[in-house]
Amino acid sequence: MANVSGKVRIAPDELESEIRDTLEELNTEVTEQVNKAAEKTAKNTAKKLKASSPVRNDGLNRKYAPGSYAKSWGYEETGSAMFRKEFTVRNKQHYQLTHLLEHGYIIPKGKNAGKRSKVQQHIYPAEQEAIQEFTEEVKGMKL
């Protein structure tokens, strides 16, 4: 490849390799930015869930301390393939409560036995915000 008067000249037999090299460089740059956006989104979603998760305040001595469900939200890298990283936002200690709180359940015993519990939807709104945040982050990438 020769630079002549501000223009790049490429021999025809070098064109294919130049295009391949340029595309590989661009692919690497895009992949890095998408991975950063994914991690940033996962981190922000975990923060939002910590802030928006229900906190039991009934004062009863139960299996879980008040606020322990909200505090145990976090994220982790759960996989990577072909330079792409995957992140999972999860409740590390009280994962078994997520579905029950998000969707409700039938109360098994006590004065309210047989009735449905109150639905405390907090994961779905955070998920929708995460989708929107990640989409905007990727659309706003500068190459």
pLDDT digit string (tens) for 50-62? 999 998 877 666 7
Which are the contacts of 11, defined by CB distance < 8 A and separation ≥ 6? 1
Q: What beta strand segments (E) does 48-83 contain? A: 73-81
The type of residue at 76 is: E
Whether this prediction's pTM lies above 0.85 is answered by no
- What local confidence, expressed as pLDDT, does residue 79 receive? 86
Question: Does residue 5 have a pLDDT over 80?
Answer: no
With contact defined as beta carbons under 8 Å apart, do 78 and 90 qualify?
Answer: no
Question: Does residue 99 have a pLDDT over 80?
Answer: yes
Percent of the chain with pLDDT over 70: 94
User: pLDDT digits over 67-83, tens only?
Assistant: 899 999 999 999 887 78
Confidence of residue 88 (pLDDT cuts 50, 70, 90): very high
Average pLDDT of the chain is: 89
- What local confidence, expressed as pLDDT, does residue 14 receive? 87
- What local confidence, expressed as pLDDT, does residue 67 receive? 87
List the single range of 40-44, 117-121, 131-135 with lowest mean pLDDT. Answer: 117-121
* Cα separation values, 29 from 14, 40, 42, 45, 140, Å: 23, 17, 20, 24, 14
Which are the contacts of 100, defined by CB distance < 8 A and separation ≥ 6? 117
φ and ψ of 18, to 5 deg: -65, -45
Q: What beta strand segments (E) does the chain contain? A: 2-4, 7-9, 73-81, 84-91
- What local confidence, expressed as pLDDT, does residue 3 receive? 54
- What local confidence, expressed as pLDDT, does residue 1 receive? 53
Give the C-alpha separation, 4 to 54, whole Å: 67
With contact defined as beta carbons under 8 Å apart, do 135 and 128 qualify?
Answer: no
With contact defined as beta carbons under 8 Å apart, do 75 and 46 qualify?
Answer: yes
